[in-house]
Amino acid sequence: MKLTAPVPGGPCWIELSTSDVPAAKSFYAALFGWRSETDPRPEAGGYTLAHLGNDRVAALSPVYQPGQPPAWTVSFAAEDTDAAVEKVTAAGGSLLVGPMDVFDQGRFAVVADPSGAVFSLWQGRAFAGADLFNAPGALGWTELVTRESEPALAFYPAVFDWTVDASAEYPQWGIDGADFGGVLTMDENFPPEVPPHWLPYFAVADVDATAATAQGAGGELLMPPTSIPHGPRIAVIRDPQGAAFGIHRVAEEE
């Protein structure tokens, strides 16, 4: 069973901060078929919604400050953003931005876990989150990449009441029996400068073909297409501006 809609505590939205929004729009259109529309209001700051058909699946926005590296940020649904921030800080995390309202759409905050992995909290109002999950071109999995998994396995359930399938090889996060992510412990294959982070995975019909398309559009393969034992076929890609994300074969995650 997989999450198919935003639920409290679950991943609800995915947002790319990038140094070149027009170039990112072109890259992800070629990769996933996204149709992107930029909010024309000056106060929106160039915020761009990406769609599959009429379904909203992600956002693209300019980086918020000079020198900020392009990156994807995963948002988790909160029934009360302010209360969730209190849980984050009580469990040893930190508040980076907010809480603040976004027009009539919702209330958000940007926080970090004790290791420094950044994520967002989103209290939906007019906008609950993505309209589509676990379909080609939509968010299908979220992975915490960290150097120490044990503190994370205590922190996140304290904040979100997540369940944990505590496999020694690959612990998985869940809500009421619906798994939506996992924990990858970094080893010596990761450069020491790579910080703990959340890595989104987008579902695709064909990992190898999508990886080839990404390379042809200027992306870089950080992990070539690989079949995981007892798991899906995956790849990890860096887009032309430098943001990393994963892809997985949707049929093997049903």
- Contact present, 62 and 17 (Cβ < 8 Å): yes
pLDDT of residue 231: 84
Residue 39: pLDDT band with limits 50, 70, 90: confident
d(CA 176, CA 190): 33
* Res 160 pLDDT > 60: yes
pLDDT per position as a tens digit, 240-252: 999 999 999 986 4
pLDDT of residue 168: 67
Beta strand 244-249 with 233-238 is: antiparallel
pLDDT per position as a tens digit, 66-111: 788 999 999 999 999 999 999 999 999 999 998 999 989 999 999 9
Global pTM? 0.94
The contacts of residue 61 (CB under 8 Å, 6+ apart) are: 15, 16, 17, 18, 21, 45, 46, 47, 48
Of all helices (H) and strands (E), which one includes residue 152? Answer: helix 149-160
Structure token digits, residue 242 = 């430098």
CA dihedral 166, 172, 173, 177 (to 10 degrees): -90
Q: Which residue has the tokens 């909290």?
A: 121
d(CA 96, CA 87): 14
Neighbour tally for 184: CB within 10 Å = 14
pLDDT per position as a tens digit, 189-207: 888 889 999 999 999 999 9
SS3 186: coil
pLDDT of residue 253: 44
Beta strand 94-102 with 71-77 is: unpaired
pLDDT of residue 47: 86
Mean residue pLDDT across the chain: 92
pLDDT per position as a tens digit, 6-30: 899 999 999 999 999 999 999 999 9
- Contact present, 141 and 182 (Cβ < 8 Å): yes
- Contact present, 141 and 181 (Cβ < 8 Å): yes
User: What are the structural domains, with CATH classification, of the chain?
Assistant: 11-124 (3.10.180.10), 139-253 (3.10.180.10)
Neighbour tally for 169: CB within 10 Å = 9
Q: Is the peptide bond before 99 cis (omega within 30 degrees of 0)?
A: yes
Alpha-carbon Rg for the chain in angstroms:
17
d(CA 176, CA 40): 40
Secondary structure E strands in 19-138: 35-38, 48-52, 55-62, 71-77, 94-102, 106-112, 118-124
Percent of the chain with pLDDT over 70: 97
